[in-house]
Structure formats: structure tokens, C-alpha cells
Structure 1
Amino acid sequence: MKQANMKVRNILMTTSLLSLAGGHVNAQERPNIVIIYLDDMGYSDISCYGQKKWSTPHIDRLAQEGVRFTDAYSASPVSSPSRAALLTGRYPARMGIQGVFYPDSYTGIPQEELLLSELLKPAGYATGIVGKWHLGSRDKFLPLQNGFDEYFGIPYSNDMGAQVYLRGNEVEDFHVDQSQMTKKYTAEAKDFISRHKDKPFFLYLAHNMMHVPIFCSEEFRGKSAAGIYSDAVLEIDWSVGEVVKELEKQGILENTLIIFASDNGPWLQEGPLGGEALPLREGKTTSYEGGVRIPSIAYWKGRITPVERKDIISTMDWYPTIAHVCNVDIPGNIRLDGYDLSDLLLNNGKRASDAYAYFRDNKDVTGLRVGDWKITLPQAEIKGNFWRTGTAAHDTLLFNLKNDPAERVDLFKKNPSKAKEMATQLDKYKSGFGDVPPALVMTGNHQSEYLRRQRREAIEKAVKEGIQSKENQTDGFEER
């Protein structure tokens, strides 16, 4: 009750600030916001980021006509923390979100946090989410209790427990056909746009793809000639095109800021069912570049000049950026980690900071990038398992990411002056970060994922041996 009351107070404070500072703006003048958020999509999974085996023309269009960021970061290499950061503009460590939430978790997004949906709603925005939530599945943690007017989707990852579609707070379908999921989400997103075209809206389209198990509809199966994963990427690209087409149809594309990004790097352990992060090192679950550097595009027809930017940005930046372009004030008691990018987007300006902090298990600051340089503190060996990448032990590492994005050449001993400078900046950042709250209790375990991994291995073995069965023909390893 205390947390809920704190959330109410924050919302009331935001409403009061809006009436004082932003209420004079005509609602029609406020832009629409569409965030398209992918799950586990790798840095080089789309053609405008270097993919050569298949093409993603609709996403490429956003990049060609908008801003394509080469050095964009998620706040975390795993799902729940990254989503919390996107919607709050804050590092997940500040919220105690150190891991992912499960269907049986008793915890979720802290109720004192003011989500982007709660920031925009008092300004007259219709707020909707379609797709993956993953910030708690108990009633008070669901979207409708956290600033969203509408919700349709799976409230957690698509490999967790029994899959259900929620509409609002209620289960609409206990039998999810994941092969139709991308098309279903796309239809729901288009419907939301068409129903709210006459007022400003915030649409958060959070696809479950590209998380395993991988699915696509029959229309896209085999279309890439490169496997089920790339087939599913093509369907995601089609979905992006459909959303843009709907905005054009409704005559509101010129008044809509579209943000495209992934929540973290690819799940490389899944082999052909995981994506690619080339030329970056490692992937999901790690704080190497492949785990947290992501494809990120901003598109606003007629407002953003097409350009490629090498500035360091993070998904946390979208919170203050959206607040600014929507003329909504952020309460002064919120400590943000994101920076307003509106001057960068609209006036070819600069981000206020050229730094990004890396966290180990979303708890401790263990690395810092400033400009081209990245320093990483020592780490003991992490033994890999069926869900987490194993990484070797290492001492303090220093990389020049401009020259070495793959993090292959450690310059710590070769460049002692830069090492000392970066170590000093890292210490200063850590000391100024503030207290980290205790981790939220995460119940649940990976037992179902473990059983699924065993099943995948059995199917893969059957495929190698040339045994034809119904299961090895599905590729995506669906669970009915």
C-alpha cells in the first residue's frame, strides 16, 4: 500500500506540473510516440547494420530517412532490467531490478517509479502497449496499473511457463499460437493507431521475437533461405512496414516520432536460433559490447534530417527526450540517467554526455565508456550454462572501441596514462552513483527452460541424423 500511494503521489505531482508548465499546449500539437522494441535482436541482425544474408527494407527505410545510431546501448544485457530502464530513464540498479521476472514472481516494477506512460497520460496521451511486458505479472505490476490505458500481449518471455494472451488485466487466450504472434501484434498495433489518430498517443510495440523459441508465420517460413531465425526477422521487418503504412494511411506520419531498438544483444548460445552481433564481442548476458550495444533508429518524417550518428546514447535517453518533444515536465525529484536527445535529433546538436556505464548483474558498476575508450574491472571466470554465456576470468581491461569494437586488443599495460585516467573516471562515477537498493526477490527458476533446451538438443540431433519427424520440421520448437 505504501508503494502504491507513492506512485499516486508521483502521478499527482506530474499532473500538477503539467497544468502549470505544459498545459497551455494544444493537444493536437503534441507528437505521437511509437516505440518498437525487439527482444534479443543482435546488432547486425538487420541489413542497415551490416547483415548481408538477408535484407530488411522497411527498417532500413527508417534508418535512411532518420537517425541511425552506431553506438547505442541498452541499460542491461537481459530483458526485465532493460525494459524498466527504457520506461523510467534510470539504470535498473537504482530500482533493485537485477534479474528477470518470472510468471511466479511476487515482485515487479517498483510502484514509486514514474513510467513514461504515467508521464504522458496526464498530458492527454492515449497510452497502449502491445506485446511483451516482463515487468511483473501480478495484478499491480501489469500495464493498466502503471499508466497504460490498453494492453494486449504476453506478460513475460515467450519461453516461460504456459503462454497466455492478456487483454487488459484478463486472460483472453490460453492457447497462444506463436507462429501467428508477430502478425497478431501488428494487427493490434494498427488498430490502436487507427482508433487514436485524432489525439496524441504513445504506442509501445514490444515484440517477443527474437527471443527463443523462434516463430514466424507460414507466409515467411523459408523466405530468407537462411533459416527460421532470419525468416522471423523478415516478418518483424514486414511488421515495421505495416506500422509505418498505417501511420501514413491515417495521415499522421509527419507528427509521429518512431523509435526502433532492441532490448539487449543476441542469445548466441542458441546457435542458429540466436542472432548476430558482429563485429562486436559476445552477446546477451554479458557486459561486452555484443551484450549491450544495440541497433537503434529514430525516425520523424520531415523533422529529423537523415544522418548516421556515432554519439554514445542509451535507451534511457528516450525518457527525457520524449518528455521534451511532448512538452511534458519531469518531476524534479526523479534522478535520471538518460539525457535529452532532442537537440541532437532536431538540430544536429550533441548529447550532454559522452559516457556510458556498464553493470555486472545490474548491481555493480564494473565498466565505463568515455568517448572512444572503455575500461572494465577484473572479473572471475563465469561458467556458462544453458542460458548464460561463460566468460573467462580477466584482469582490468582497456579498449579503444573506435579502433577495436570487437574488444580483442587490451591496451591497459600498453597505455598506462589512459588506463590511469579511465580508472579515475570510473572511480568517480561509482562514488557518485549513490546507494543501490537490495535486489527485488526473483522467484522462479530455469527448470522449464532447461527441459526445453534438452528437447531442442534432441531435435537437433535428430536433424543431423536425417530423421524426419513433425518436431524437427518446425524449427522454432513450438510448445502447444
Structure 2
Amino acid sequence: MYRLSILVLIGFITSCSNPEPTSELPNIIHVFVDDLGYGDVGAFGATDIKTPNIDRIADEGIKFTEFYSASSICSPSRAALLTGRYPQRMGIGQVFFPESFTGMPEEEITIAELLKKKEYATAIVGKWHLGHRKQYLPLNQGFDYYFGIPYSNDMESVVYMRGNEVVDFEVDQHYTTKTYTREAIDFIEREKDNPFFLYLAHSMPHVPIYASEQFEGTSERGLYGDVVQELDWSVGQIIQKLEDEKLLENTLLIFSSDNGPWLVMEDHGGSAGPLREGKQFTFEGGMRVPTVAMWKGKIVAGKVYEDLATQMDWFPTIAQMVGVPVPDDREIDGKDLSAVLFSDGERDGDTFFYFDDMELQAYRSGDYKVKKPYSGFPGAAWKQKVPAHDSLLINLKEDMGEQHNLYPEQPDFGISLFEEMNQARKELGAFPAPLIIRTGADNSHYRYLEQKHKQEK
């Protein structure tokens, strides 16, 4: 049977306006990197990091210049990608830790669970970060196969898991990108004659960053650039495998990032390019991410889409492509991108919410963005110093770097957008209480001893 392959590379899939679902099931590979900035890819302006394979996807497919993650941090962005829903609907506003007893609720429906209705083989290779207790792991969320680090690579107890079991307590992160790539290619080899979904979620370039010897010293941007060039190599290996198996013409290849760069990490933290700020903030640099996709013969080569699209859109897009109804028992926030991908159409809807944890901080409507006053952040080892600001009104088409605040010049328009934001937020409905991520340790015994010793002196 002629089989269509869809490759979702680093978090990216699109949809058709009113297409007929494909009669032959496509494969899907989603490559999702961690903390990659808008300015870290050649197709988006980087000159000191070489990314020929990622750039090839843009050249032979589509580049999204205004593509958003639903969050500026890891766990919420991944929950949104897999479910098509704002993560606040699940109570997920923060990242999970090794000591977390919570995770993405089991009743959420993932892309993998959708595709199981069409008997897809489903796998995730790489970072999960949606809860590592057994009930929250990938095998309970529609995936047949899992290999990877279950949370961020800077957290305690970094391990490799296979399925629900730890298989390696000693992880050498110099080889994590190569290890994930090998696992991904092995999965493609096993399932090449069946429809499959591969979610390849790289741990890099999240700190601490590591590259294998083959890539150390190869870029013009130090170790960070070396790491990104190795990720690009990984993309090239996936493309080569698809070509070898004669699957490329039947494959949608998607590449994206979970959020913006972690700028406080300086030369280990990437670049937001022309965008303001990065990870952990609701400025564009934190949530607008480099995204490209290709499907030879299906997506016109060299296409550029310069309007709003989001990671949440992949859920309804994939559902449409394979002919699976979108669940009607819950709100799905993503929009079908088929018209954007496969014709000259546009995405339905031009609004977007910028949440920080469970708080709505900003809102986009058409070309304009309003952002509520912010008290600033003094800076810490883990978060960039950012000054306070008053209400912001930005024309994103003319000022993607958010440097010119129009609010003092057009206060009435700004107020009207804030009113629209508040009404749109009400229409989202009530959110559940935020999940308890972790609780602090009781260190009263140390304080007792400290006080006791002071009194004895």
C-alpha cells in the first residue's frame, strides 16, 4: 500500500483548510529541541552556526516566522504540543522535577493516543518532562515505545529510561544527541513498513550543554554552536534514513523548539536574534520559536508563512490528516493548519494568550500585542534580570523586537485590546488549581542546631 510519511521535526505540524483526510496513512516524525533560540538557526538569520539540514527543510518546505510555543518553559510547552490545549487547562504552569509526584493528567488525550485509533506505531525518544511516576510516563499516554531522560538534563538523578524502567544510571551527556539519533533511526527501521509517529525530543541545547568529540570546536559560536550543529547533524541523519527507505516524498518533516533561549546562561544559552528577551518571559523571545516543515510534493518548496501559528495547532492538523475526529468532550485550542501547509490559505484565528505560570500577562490580536505592566525581575543565577515596564502596546509586524511602545501614543486602542483580552480570557473558562510540583524540605532541625550553637558560644 502506498504509504504517506509525516515527519514532525522539533515540534511542528500543519493542516489543510477543508481537506479530505488522506486515505493512506502518513508517518509522523516530530523533532523538538530544547531551549533553541530564534537566532540559532541559519534559516532564521544565524551566521555563526551552520545548520544546513534544518535550512534544507525550510528551502524544500515551509518556514514559519511567527510560530509560538504555548509557554516560555519546558513542561507546559510539551503538554500543549501533545494535546492541542493551553497547559493551564491541565493545571500545568511550571516544570516538573525528579521529586514531583504529579504529571500531565492521565485523562488528557495526546497526539499519540489519537493515532493509535489508526493503529500507528508510536514512539518518543528523548526528553519527556510531563511526570516520571509510572502513571504519567509515555507508555500510559499512547506511546508504544520510550527511550530517554524523563526530565531536564540539569536535574538530579539524570537517567536513561526504556519503557517504564531505568536502564542506565550513568549518563554521559557528550553522547546524548547521538544516542537519541540512533534510537530514532532504529525505530524507523523497525516500523518502516507501518504507519508510525516518532516524537524525537532532544535534551540539547538545554544546559548543561555537551557535544561529542566529532563536533567539539566545529562552530564559530563556541560550545553552544557545536551542540546546535550536532543537532543539525541529527536532523540530517533522519532525512538520510527517510531517503534510503524511499520515504522522504511521503514524509512531513517538522523542526521546532519548546521555547526561547535561556539567556542568563550567557554563551551557553543561545540567541533570540532580533526578538526581546528569552526563556521564562512572555516577550517574543521567550515564546516565538524557529519552526520549519517539509513534505516533498505536498508542501510547496520555499514557502514562508508570516502570520500566527502555534505548537497547539499540530494536534487538530494531524487529526485532520489521518481522518480522526478531534475530541468533542474538551476544548481544543489549536487550529488546523492544512490550508497553510498544502494550499495558499490562512490559519483560522489570529489571537494568542501569553501565560506565565497560571497568570495571563499578554495577548496578541492580529498584528498587535498588549502586555500588562510588569514589576521586573532583579536577576538570579537561573533567570535573566529584566527591568520593570508599564503597559505595552506593540505592532509586531513593524516591531518584532518590541522596542517601540505605542501605548502612550494610542491609549484608547491599547485599552480596547486589554478589554478584548479580558473578555477572551473569560471565554476560555475556569482553569483547575495548579498542580503541586513539589514542596520544600523541613530543615527546622538544622535551624535548631544553628541557634543552639550560637547560644553556646
TM-score, normalised with respect to structure 1: 0.86
Q: Which residue of 1 aligns with 2:341?
A: 345
How far apart are the structure 1 equivalents of 2:439 and 2:253?
35
Contact 2:117/2:324 (8 A) holds in 1: no
Aligned to 1:40: 35
Q: Secondary structure at the match of 1:279?
A: coil
Is 1:356–2:352 an aligned residue pair?
Answer: yes
* Aligned partner (choices 54, 62, 79) of residue 59 of structure 1: 54
> Residue by residue, what CA displacement relative to the aligned partner does 1:154-203 show, whole Å, maximum 9, x if unpaired?
00000100211101011111111100110110011011011101111000
2:321 is aligned with 1:295 = no
1:124 deviation in Å?
0.9
Structure 1: gaps (5+ residues):
1-24, 447-480
Q: Could you say which residue in structure 2 is the equivalent of 1:325?
A: 321
Amino acid aligned to 1:132: K
Whether contact under 8 Å (2:72, 2:356) holds in the other structure is: no
Contact persistence 2:22–2:321 (CA under 8 A): no
Q: Deviations over 1:244-279 (max 9, x none)?
A: 111111111122222211000000000110100010
The change in CA–CA distance for 1:252 and 1:426 in structure 2 (over 3 A counts) is same
CA distance in 2, matches of 1:431, 1:171: 43
Q: Quick one: which amino acid aligns to residue 166 of structure 2?
A: V
Counterpart position of 1:276: 271
* Segment of structure 1 superposing worse, 94-103 or 321-330: 321-330
1:158 paired to 2:158: no
What are the equivalent positions in structure 2 for 1:241-280 lying under 5 Å apart?
Answer: 241-280=236-275
The structure 1 residue matched to 2:118, chosen from 110, 114, 123, is: 123
Q: Root-mean-square deviation (CA), in Å?
A: 1.6
Q: Could you tell me whether the CA contact under 8 Å between 1:135 and 1:142 is conserved in 2?
A: yes
Distance 1:116 1:374 in 2: 30
Contact 1:102 1:444 in 2 (8 A): no
Q: Does residue 311 of structure 2 align to residue 315 of structure 1?
A: yes
Per the TM alignment, residue 444 of structure 1 is displaced from its structure 2 partner at its CA by 6.4
Instruction: Tell me what 2:423 maps to.
Output: 428
Conserved? CA contact 2:101–2:437, under 8 Å = yes
Matched residues, number? 421
Within a 5 Å distance, the mapping from 1:17-166 to structure 2 comes to 29-166=24-161
1:417: Cα distance to partner? 3.7
Rounded Cα–Cα distance in structure 1 between residues aligned with 2:21 and 2:110: 23
Find the partner of 1:237 among 217, 232, 239.
232
Distance 2:212 2:356 in 1: 37
> 1:376 touches 1:398 (CA, 8 Å); kept in 2?
yes
The 1-side partners of 2:46 and 2:376 are apart by 31
Equivalent-residue separation in structure 1 for 2:251 and 2:330 (angstroms): 26
Report deviation, 1:236. Answer: 0.3
Contact 2:22/2:322 (8 A) holds in 1: no
- Conservation of the 8 A alpha-carbon contact between 1:27 and 1:199: no
Shift of 1:289: 0.5
Amino acid across the alignment from 2:148: G
Deviations 1:90-113 (A, max 9, x none): 011111001000011000011111
SS of the residue 2:297 aligns to: coil
Q: TM-score, normalised by structure 2?
A: 0.90
* Cα pair distance change 1:373/1:445, threshold 3 Å: farther
Q: 1:132 to 1:230 in 2, by over 3 A?
A: same
Structure 1 position 27, deviation (Å): 9.8
In 2: Cα distance, 1:381 partner to 1:368 partner:
18
* Post-superposition offset of 1:26: 11
One-letter identity of the residue aligned with 1:412? Y
Tell me which residue corresponds to 2:162: 167
Separation in 2, partners of 1:69, 1:202: 22
Of 206, 212, 216, the match for 1:221: 216
Q: Which moved further from structure 2: 379-388 or 291-300?
A: 379-388
The list of structure 1 runs, each at least 4 consecutive aligned residues, that deviate by more than 3 angstroms after superposition, is: 25-28
After superposition, what is the alpha-carbon deviation per residue over 1:25-62, rounded to whole angstroms, capped at 9, x for unaligned? 99981111111001000001011000011221000000
Q: 1:197 to 1:445 in 2, by over 3 A?
A: farther
Secondary structure of 1:366's partner? strand
Alpha-carbon distance change, 350 to 27 in structure 1, aligned in 2, over 3 angstroms: closer
Which one of 291, 294, 299 corresponds to residue 304 of structure 1? 299
Higher-helix-fraction structure:
1
Post-superposition offset of 1:394: 2.1
Counterpart-to-counterpart distance in 1, 2:410 and 2:53: 43
- Matches of residues 375-394 of structure 1 in structure 2 within 5 Å? 375-394=370-389
SS at match of 1:205: strand
Q: Corresponding residue for 2:445?
A: none
AA aligned opposite 2:352: Y
Tell me: CA distance 1:232–1:255, structure 2 relative to 1, closer, same or farther (3 Å). same
Q: C-alpha separation between the residues in 1 aligned to 2:67 and 2:209?
A: 25
- Identify if the C-alpha distance between structure 1 residues 445 and 183 changes in structure 2 by more than 3 Å, giving closer, same or farther: farther
Cα distance, 1:416 vs. partner? 2.7
Q: 1:198 aligns with which of 183, 187, 193?
A: 193
Deviation, structure 1 residue 384: 2.2
Aligned residue type for 2:391: T
> Equivalent residue of 1:240, what SS?
helix
